[in-house]
Amino acid sequence: MNDALAQGALRDSEFNRYSRQIMLNDWGEAGQLRLKNSRVVIVGCGGLGNVVASYLAGCGVGHLTLIDGDDVELSNLPRQLAFDIDSCGQNKADELMQRLYSQNDEVDIVIEPLSVDIDNVQQLLEQHNLVIDCTDNFSTRLLINDWCVTNQIPLMTAAVIGWQGQLLLVDPEMENGCYQCVFDTPSDSQQSCSTMGVNPAMVGVVGSYQANQSLRYLLQLSTPLSNKVALIDGITMGVNLFMREQNNHCTVCHPTLKQEET
Amino acid sequence: MSHKLSSQVLVNQVTPVDIESGVSTLNDIMNFLALESSSVAIAVNNVVISKSTWSQHTLSDGDNINVFGAIAGG
Protein backbone atom coordinates (compact mmCIF):
# COMPACT_ATOMS: atom_id res chain seq x y z
CA MET A 1 0.00 0.00 0.00
CA ASN A 2 1.35 3.37 -1.03
CA ASP A 3 0.94 6.68 0.83
CA ALA A 4 0.47 8.27 -2.58
CA LEU A 5 -3.08 6.95 -2.32
CA ALA A 6 -3.80 9.62 0.29
CA GLN A 7 -3.08 12.44 -2.15
CA GLY A 8 -5.58 14.93 -3.57
CA ALA A 9 -8.55 16.61 -1.96
CA LEU A 10 -12.16 15.85 -1.17
CA ARG A 11 -15.00 17.93 -2.59
CA ASP A 12 -17.56 19.50 -0.26
CA SER A 13 -20.16 16.95 -1.35
CA GLU A 14 -17.76 14.15 -0.42
CA PHE A 15 -17.10 15.62 3.03
CA ASN A 16 -20.85 15.75 3.51
CA ARG A 17 -21.60 12.25 2.18
CA TYR A 18 -18.80 10.55 4.12
CA SER A 19 -18.93 12.72 7.26
CA ARG A 20 -19.92 9.93 9.67
CA GLN A 21 -16.92 7.78 8.73
CA ILE A 22 -14.40 10.62 8.31
CA MET A 23 -15.07 11.62 11.93
CA LEU A 24 -13.60 8.30 13.11
CA ASN A 25 -10.17 8.94 14.62
CA ASP A 26 -8.40 6.29 12.56
CA TRP A 27 -10.25 7.10 9.32
CA GLY A 28 -10.13 10.86 8.74
CA GLU A 29 -9.68 12.79 5.50
CA ALA A 30 -6.47 10.91 4.68
CA GLY A 31 -8.26 7.60 4.98
CA GLN A 32 -11.12 8.78 2.80
CA LEU A 33 -8.62 9.89 0.16
CA ARG A 34 -7.01 6.46 0.27
CA LEU A 35 -10.39 4.89 -0.43
CA LYS A 36 -11.11 7.38 -3.20
CA ASN A 37 -7.83 6.58 -4.93
CA SER A 38 -8.11 2.81 -4.48
CA ARG A 39 -8.88 0.33 -7.23
CA VAL A 40 -10.59 -2.83 -6.01
CA VAL A 41 -11.77 -5.84 -7.98
CA ILE A 42 -14.58 -8.03 -6.63
CA VAL A 43 -14.67 -11.50 -8.17
CA GLY A 44 -18.16 -12.93 -7.81
CA CYS A 45 -21.29 -10.78 -7.53
CA GLY A 46 -23.48 -13.22 -5.62
CA GLY A 47 -24.26 -13.11 -1.90
CA LEU A 48 -20.88 -11.98 -0.56
CA GLY A 49 -20.23 -9.78 -3.59
CA ASN A 50 -23.55 -7.98 -3.08
CA VAL A 51 -22.68 -7.09 0.50
CA VAL A 52 -19.01 -6.22 -0.04
CA ALA A 53 -19.65 -4.11 -3.15
CA SER A 54 -22.48 -2.21 -1.47
CA TYR A 55 -20.33 -1.21 1.50
CA LEU A 56 -17.26 -0.37 -0.58
CA ALA A 57 -19.22 1.73 -3.06
CA GLY A 58 -21.19 3.34 -0.27
CA CYS A 59 -17.97 4.17 1.60
CA GLY A 60 -16.43 5.82 -1.46
CA VAL A 61 -13.88 3.36 -2.80
CA GLY A 62 -13.02 5.20 -6.01
CA HIS A 63 -12.91 2.37 -8.50
CA LEU A 64 -14.64 -1.01 -8.42
CA THR A 65 -14.37 -3.75 -11.01
CA LEU A 66 -17.21 -6.28 -10.72
CA ILE A 67 -16.71 -9.72 -12.30
CA ASP A 68 -19.41 -12.36 -12.71
CA GLY A 69 -20.55 -14.38 -15.72
CA ASP A 70 -23.75 -15.70 -14.11
CA ASP A 71 -27.29 -14.44 -14.44
CA VAL A 72 -29.58 -13.77 -11.47
CA GLU A 73 -31.89 -16.68 -10.58
CA LEU A 74 -34.97 -16.80 -8.39
CA SER A 75 -33.13 -18.90 -5.79
CA ASN A 76 -30.57 -16.06 -5.38
CA LEU A 77 -33.06 -13.48 -4.13
CA PRO A 78 -33.24 -14.51 -0.43
CA ARG A 79 -29.57 -13.58 0.12
CA GLN A 80 -28.52 -11.36 -2.81
CA LEU A 81 -30.25 -8.20 -1.69
CA ALA A 82 -29.14 -5.92 -4.51
CA PHE A 83 -31.38 -7.92 -6.87
CA ASP A 84 -35.14 -8.10 -7.27
CA ILE A 85 -37.57 -10.11 -9.33
CA ASP A 86 -36.88 -7.99 -12.40
CA SER A 87 -33.19 -8.87 -12.14
CA CYS A 88 -33.82 -12.55 -12.90
CA GLY A 89 -32.20 -13.54 -16.18
CA GLN A 90 -29.91 -10.50 -16.14
CA ASN A 91 -26.15 -10.59 -15.61
CA LYS A 92 -25.22 -10.25 -11.92
CA ALA A 93 -22.33 -7.82 -12.43
CA ASP A 94 -24.49 -5.55 -14.58
CA GLU A 95 -27.43 -5.63 -12.16
CA LEU A 96 -25.14 -4.97 -9.20
CA MET A 97 -23.50 -2.02 -10.95
CA GLN A 98 -26.88 -0.40 -11.55
CA ARG A 99 -27.82 -0.86 -7.89
CA LEU A 100 -24.50 0.64 -6.76
CA TYR A 101 -24.83 3.67 -9.02
CA SER A 102 -28.22 4.42 -7.47
CA GLN A 103 -26.47 4.32 -4.09
CA ASN A 104 -23.39 6.36 -5.03
CA ASP A 105 -22.81 7.81 -8.49
CA GLU A 106 -19.46 9.31 -7.46
CA VAL A 107 -17.62 5.99 -7.75
CA ASP A 108 -16.26 4.52 -10.97
CA ILE A 109 -17.55 1.03 -11.73
CA VAL A 110 -16.46 -1.32 -14.50
CA ILE A 111 -18.15 -4.66 -15.08
CA GLU A 112 -16.80 -7.84 -16.64
CA PRO A 113 -19.72 -10.21 -17.33
CA LEU A 114 -17.63 -13.36 -17.55
CA SER A 115 -15.90 -15.97 -15.43
CA VAL A 116 -12.25 -15.75 -14.43
CA ASP A 117 -10.08 -18.42 -16.03
CA ILE A 118 -6.42 -19.08 -16.67
CA ASP A 119 -6.50 -17.17 -19.96
CA ASN A 120 -8.08 -13.92 -18.69
CA VAL A 121 -7.00 -13.75 -15.05
CA GLN A 122 -4.05 -11.44 -15.72
CA GLN A 123 -6.08 -8.96 -17.75
CA LEU A 124 -8.98 -8.94 -15.27
CA LEU A 125 -7.08 -8.61 -11.99
CA GLU A 126 -4.07 -6.45 -12.83
CA GLN A 127 -4.10 -2.73 -12.04
CA HIS A 128 -5.93 -3.16 -8.72
CA ASN A 129 -4.82 -2.47 -5.14
CA LEU A 130 -6.91 -5.28 -3.66
CA VAL A 131 -8.59 -8.42 -4.98
CA ILE A 132 -11.70 -9.57 -3.10
CA ASP A 133 -12.70 -13.19 -3.64
CA CYS A 134 -16.47 -13.73 -3.38
CA THR A 135 -16.59 -16.71 -5.73
CA ASP A 136 -18.53 -19.94 -5.28
CA ASN A 137 -16.08 -22.65 -6.37
CA PHE A 138 -12.65 -23.90 -5.40
CA SER A 139 -11.09 -23.93 -8.85
CA THR A 140 -11.55 -20.15 -9.21
CA ARG A 141 -10.45 -19.56 -5.61
CA LEU A 142 -7.22 -21.44 -6.22
CA LEU A 143 -6.59 -19.65 -9.52
CA ILE A 144 -7.09 -16.21 -7.95
CA ASN A 145 -4.91 -17.13 -4.98
CA ASP A 146 -2.12 -18.31 -7.28
CA TRP A 147 -2.28 -15.12 -9.37
CA CYS A 148 -2.30 -12.83 -6.34
CA VAL A 149 0.69 -14.54 -4.73
CA THR A 150 2.64 -14.49 -7.99
CA ASN A 151 1.87 -10.82 -8.61
CA GLN A 152 2.16 -9.66 -4.99
CA ILE A 153 -1.38 -8.27 -4.92
CA PRO A 154 -3.31 -8.59 -1.62
CA LEU A 155 -6.25 -11.00 -1.62
CA MET A 156 -9.19 -10.83 0.79
CA THR A 157 -11.01 -14.13 0.51
CA ALA A 158 -14.18 -15.30 2.24
CA ALA A 159 -16.64 -18.15 1.93
CA VAL A 160 -19.95 -19.10 3.51
CA ILE A 161 -21.97 -22.28 3.69
CA GLY A 162 -24.77 -23.42 5.98
CA TRP A 163 -24.25 -21.52 9.25
CA GLN A 164 -20.47 -21.16 8.84
CA GLY A 165 -18.10 -18.62 7.36
CA GLN A 166 -14.35 -18.45 6.70
CA LEU A 167 -12.11 -15.46 5.94
CA LEU A 168 -8.43 -14.76 5.46
CA LEU A 169 -6.20 -12.12 3.87
CA VAL A 170 -3.24 -13.12 1.75
CA ASP A 171 -1.00 -10.14 2.49
CA PRO A 172 2.14 -9.78 0.33
CA GLU A 173 3.83 -7.87 3.15
CA MET A 174 3.43 -10.75 5.60
CA GLU A 175 5.02 -14.20 5.57
CA ASN A 176 2.03 -16.18 6.76
CA GLY A 177 1.31 -18.06 3.58
CA CYS A 178 -1.64 -18.16 1.23
CA TYR A 179 -5.06 -19.76 0.86
CA GLN A 180 -3.51 -22.96 -0.42
CA CYS A 181 -1.16 -23.13 2.57
CA VAL A 182 -4.29 -23.68 4.68
CA PHE A 183 -6.40 -25.69 2.24
CA ASP A 184 -4.11 -27.60 -0.07
CA THR A 185 -6.42 -29.83 -2.10
CA PRO A 186 -10.01 -28.61 -2.08
CA SER A 187 -12.31 -30.10 -4.68
CA ASP A 188 -15.25 -28.49 -6.48
CA SER A 189 -17.37 -31.48 -5.55
CA GLN A 190 -17.44 -30.24 -1.95
CA GLN A 191 -19.10 -27.50 0.07
CA SER A 192 -20.87 -25.14 -2.30
CA CYS A 193 -24.15 -23.32 -1.59
CA SER A 194 -25.94 -25.19 -4.36
CA THR A 195 -25.08 -28.58 -2.87
CA MET A 196 -24.97 -27.84 0.86
CA GLY A 197 -27.40 -24.95 1.34
CA VAL A 198 -26.81 -21.66 3.13
CA ASN A 199 -28.59 -19.45 5.64
CA PRO A 200 -29.13 -16.14 3.82
CA ALA A 201 -28.48 -14.12 6.98
CA MET A 202 -25.05 -15.74 7.34
CA VAL A 203 -24.13 -14.39 3.91
CA GLY A 204 -24.80 -10.92 5.31
CA VAL A 205 -22.73 -11.62 8.42
CA VAL A 206 -19.70 -12.98 6.55
CA GLY A 207 -19.95 -10.38 3.78
CA SER A 208 -20.00 -7.63 6.39
CA TYR A 209 -16.87 -9.02 8.03
CA GLN A 210 -15.23 -9.22 4.60
CA ALA A 211 -16.17 -5.63 3.78
CA ASN A 212 -15.07 -4.38 7.19
CA GLN A 213 -11.65 -6.00 7.04
CA SER A 214 -11.20 -4.92 3.39
CA LEU A 215 -11.87 -1.32 4.40
CA ARG A 216 -9.40 -1.62 7.28
CA TYR A 217 -6.76 -2.93 4.89
CA LEU A 218 -7.37 -0.11 2.40
CA LEU A 219 -7.20 2.40 5.25
CA GLN A 220 -3.83 0.92 6.29
CA LEU A 221 -5.28 -0.20 9.61
CA SER A 222 -4.45 -3.52 11.25
CA THR A 223 -6.48 -6.61 10.47
CA PRO A 224 -6.09 -9.98 12.20
CA LEU A 225 -6.76 -11.65 8.87
CA SER A 226 -3.23 -10.74 7.68
CA ASN A 227 -1.83 -13.68 9.62
CA LYS A 228 -4.88 -15.61 10.76
CA VAL A 229 -7.84 -17.47 9.33
CA ALA A 230 -11.22 -16.62 10.87
CA LEU A 231 -13.98 -19.16 11.34
CA ILE A 232 -17.41 -17.69 12.05
CA ASP A 233 -20.11 -19.86 13.61
CA GLY A 234 -23.65 -18.60 13.07
CA ILE A 235 -25.05 -21.06 15.61
CA THR A 236 -22.95 -20.12 18.64
CA MET A 237 -22.07 -16.58 17.45
CA GLY A 238 -18.46 -17.60 18.00
CA VAL A 239 -15.45 -16.36 16.02
CA ASN A 240 -12.29 -18.44 16.10
CA LEU A 241 -9.01 -16.95 14.88
CA PHE A 242 -6.22 -19.39 14.05
CA MET A 243 -2.65 -18.31 13.32
CA ARG A 244 -1.45 -19.21 9.81
CA GLU A 245 2.07 -20.17 8.83
CA GLN A 246 3.58 -20.58 5.41
CA ASN A 247 3.53 -24.20 4.30
CA ASN A 248 7.00 -25.20 3.10
CA HIS A 249 5.36 -27.68 0.72
CA CYS A 250 2.93 -25.16 -0.82
CA THR A 251 3.37 -25.13 -4.58
CA VAL A 252 1.99 -21.57 -4.79
CA CYS A 253 4.30 -19.95 -2.23
CA HIS A 254 7.26 -22.02 -3.44
CA PRO A 255 7.15 -21.93 -7.25
CA THR A 256 10.13 -24.27 -7.53
CA LEU A 257 7.96 -27.02 -6.05
CA LYS A 258 5.35 -26.30 -8.72
CA GLN A 259 7.98 -26.67 -11.42
CA GLU A 260 9.12 -29.96 -9.91
CA GLU A 261 5.49 -31.13 -9.82
CA THR A 262 5.03 -30.46 -13.52
CA MET B 1 -6.36 -40.65 45.79
CA SER B 2 -7.33 -40.12 42.16
CA HIS B 3 -4.89 -40.02 39.29
CA LYS B 4 -5.15 -39.49 35.57
CA LEU B 5 -5.34 -42.77 33.70
CA SER B 6 -4.55 -41.27 30.31
CA SER B 7 -3.88 -38.00 28.55
CA GLN B 8 -6.58 -36.40 26.51
CA VAL B 9 -6.96 -33.77 23.80
CA LEU B 10 -10.11 -31.90 22.94
CA VAL B 11 -11.29 -32.03 19.32
CA ASN B 12 -13.54 -29.22 18.06
CA GLN B 13 -14.31 -28.36 21.69
CA VAL B 14 -16.59 -31.35 22.13
CA THR B 15 -14.81 -34.67 21.57
CA PRO B 16 -12.23 -35.80 24.16
CA VAL B 17 -9.73 -38.18 22.56
CA ASP B 18 -7.48 -40.51 24.54
CA ILE B 19 -3.98 -39.98 23.17
CA GLU B 20 -2.56 -43.10 24.85
CA SER B 21 -4.64 -45.50 22.83
CA GLY B 22 -2.68 -45.26 19.62
CA VAL B 23 -3.65 -41.67 18.86
CA SER B 24 -0.40 -39.72 19.09
CA THR B 25 -0.14 -37.57 15.95
CA LEU B 26 -2.46 -35.43 13.85
CA ASN B 27 -2.57 -38.18 11.25
CA ASP B 28 -3.78 -40.52 13.98
CA ILE B 29 -6.53 -38.06 14.92
CA MET B 30 -7.76 -37.95 11.33
CA ASN B 31 -7.82 -41.75 11.19
CA PHE B 32 -9.50 -41.98 14.60
CA LEU B 33 -12.25 -39.59 13.52
CA ALA B 34 -12.47 -41.23 10.08
CA LEU B 35 -12.15 -37.84 8.42
CA GLU B 36 -11.20 -37.28 4.78
CA SER B 37 -7.95 -35.30 4.80
CA SER B 38 -8.35 -33.45 1.50
CA SER B 39 -9.54 -29.85 1.88
CA VAL B 40 -9.32 -30.13 5.66
CA ALA B 41 -7.16 -27.97 7.92
CA ILE B 42 -6.16 -28.59 11.53
CA ALA B 43 -5.32 -26.02 14.17
CA VAL B 44 -3.60 -27.07 17.39
CA ASN B 45 -3.84 -24.57 20.23
CA ASN B 46 -5.00 -21.92 17.74
CA VAL B 47 -2.18 -22.43 15.22
CA VAL B 48 -2.82 -24.03 11.82
CA ILE B 49 -0.49 -26.99 11.29
CA SER B 50 0.66 -27.63 7.72
CA LYS B 51 -0.57 -30.94 6.39
CA SER B 52 2.96 -31.90 5.43
CA THR B 53 3.84 -32.09 9.14
CA TRP B 54 0.74 -33.89 10.43
CA SER B 55 2.53 -37.22 10.63
CA GLN B 56 5.31 -35.74 12.76
CA HIS B 57 3.19 -33.46 14.95
CA THR B 58 2.96 -35.21 18.31
CA LEU B 59 0.05 -34.33 20.54
CA SER B 60 0.37 -33.23 24.14
CA ASP B 61 -1.99 -33.61 27.05
CA GLY B 62 -4.65 -30.92 26.97
CA ASP B 63 -4.08 -29.86 23.38
CA ASN B 64 -7.05 -28.05 21.87
CA ILE B 65 -7.56 -29.29 18.31
CA ASN B 66 -9.84 -27.78 15.68
CA VAL B 67 -10.51 -29.65 12.46
CA PHE B 68 -12.24 -27.61 9.78
CA GLY B 69 -12.96 -28.09 6.10
CA ALA B 70 -12.63 -25.62 3.27
CA ILE B 71 -15.91 -24.12 2.09
CA ALA B 72 -16.51 -22.41 -1.22
CA GLY B 73 -19.92 -20.75 -1.13
CA GLY B 74 -20.09 -17.10 -2.03
Instruction: Give the model's pLDDT for residue A173.
Output: 94
Residues of chain B found within 8 Å of residue A242, distances taken between Cβ atoms: 43, 46-48, 66
Q: State how far residue A34 is from chain B, nearest Cα, in angstroms.
A: 27
Tell me which range, A173-182, A247-256, B35-44, is most confidently predicted by mean pLDDT.
Answer: A173-182
- Nearest by CB to A242, which of B39, B66, B70? B66
pLDDT band at A131 (very low <50, low <70, confident <90, very high): very high
Q: Given the DSSP bridges, would you call strands B40-44 and B64-69 parallel, antiparallel or unpaired? A: antiparallel
CB-CB under 8 Å, A248 with B71:
no
Q: Which of residues 14-53 of B touch A (CB under 8 A)?
A: 38-41, 43, 46-48, 50-52
Kindly tell me the sign of the dihedral angle through the C-alpha atoms of A105, A110, A112, A116.
negative
Q: For this structure, is A148 an active site residue? A: no
pLDDT band at A190 (very low <50, low <70, confident <90, very high): low
Average of per-residue pLDDT across A106-132: 98
Looking at the DSSP bridge assignments, the partners of residue B44 are B47, B65
Q: What is the ipTM of this complex?
A: 0.88
Average of per-residue pLDDT across B7-27: 83
| CB neighbour class for A199 (10 Å; exposed up to 12, middle 13-18, buried from 19) | middle
Spatial distance between the Cα atoms of A99 and A259, rounded to a whole number of angstroms? 44
Angle at A74 (CA atoms; ends A73, A78), nearest 5 degrees:
110
B13 close to A (CB below 8 A): no
Residues of chain B found within 8 Å of residue A186, distances taken between Cβ atoms: 38-39, 70, 72
Q: Is the pLDDT of residue A256 over 80?
A: no
A182 three-class SS: helix
